[in-house]
C-alpha cells in the first residue's frame, strides 16, 4: 500500500527502492523497519521503539518467483560461461525457495538482486 511505502520512506530517510535494497544488503535499520511494518499489519498499535530482535531471529529471502525474475535478467550482465555459472547458482536457490502465491498477476516492487 502507498501509505506503508510513505511511512517506510519517512522512517528510512530515502526512497522505497533504496530501502528495499538496504533490506537485502543487510541494513539493520531497514530490516527493523520491515519487521515493524509487517507487525503493524496484525498489531496496529505496535510502536517502532517496541520492535527489537536478535539478528538471527529475522531472515530475509527472495521467493521462487522473485529469483526467477532475477535469473531472467542475468543475461543483461553476464554472457558465456559466466552466465551459465550465474544461472546455476540462482537455480540452486530457486529449488530451495518458497512460493509466493500472491506474486502472479500483480505489479511487483523493485527486485534487488
Per-residue pLDDT 10s for the chain (113 aa) are 889 999 999 999 999 999 999 998 999 999 999 999 999 999 999 999 999 988 888 888 888 988 999 999 999 999 999 999 999 999 999 998 888 776 554 445 555 54
Cell 496484525 belongs to 42
Residue 25 CA to residue 23 CA, distance in Å, equals 5
> Is there a domain that residue 110 lies in?
no
> Is there a domain that residue 89 lies in?
yes
Look up residue 55 and give its three cell numbers: 539478528
Neighbours of 81 (CB within 10 A): 8
> Is there a domain that residue 105 lies in?
no
**Total domain count, the chain:** 2
Cell 501509505 belongs to 3
For residue 54, give the nearest of 24, 79, 28 by alpha carbon. Answer: 28
Query: Same structural domain for residues 52 and 69?
Result: no
Look up residue 80 and give its three cell numbers: 558465456
Amino acid at each position: 500500500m502507498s501509505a506503508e511505502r510513505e511511512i517506510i520512506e519517512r522512517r528510512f530517510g530515502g526512497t522505497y527502492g533504496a530501502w528495499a535494497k538496504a533490506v537485502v544488503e543487510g541494513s539493520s535499520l531497514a530490516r527493523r523497519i520491515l519487521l515493524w511494518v509487517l507487525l503493524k499489519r496484525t498489531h496496529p498499535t505496535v510502536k517502532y521503539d517496541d520492535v527489537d530482535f536478535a539478528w538471527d531471529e529475522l531472515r530475509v529471502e527472495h521467493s521462487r518467483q522473485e529469483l526467477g525474475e532475477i535469473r531472467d535478467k542475468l543475461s543483461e550482465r553476464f554472457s558465456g560461461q559466466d552466465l551459465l555459472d550465474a544461472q546455476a547458482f540462482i537455480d540452486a536457490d530457486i529449488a530451495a525457495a518458497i512460493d509466493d502465491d500472491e506474486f502472479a498477476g500483480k505489479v511487483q516492487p523493485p527486485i534487488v538482486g
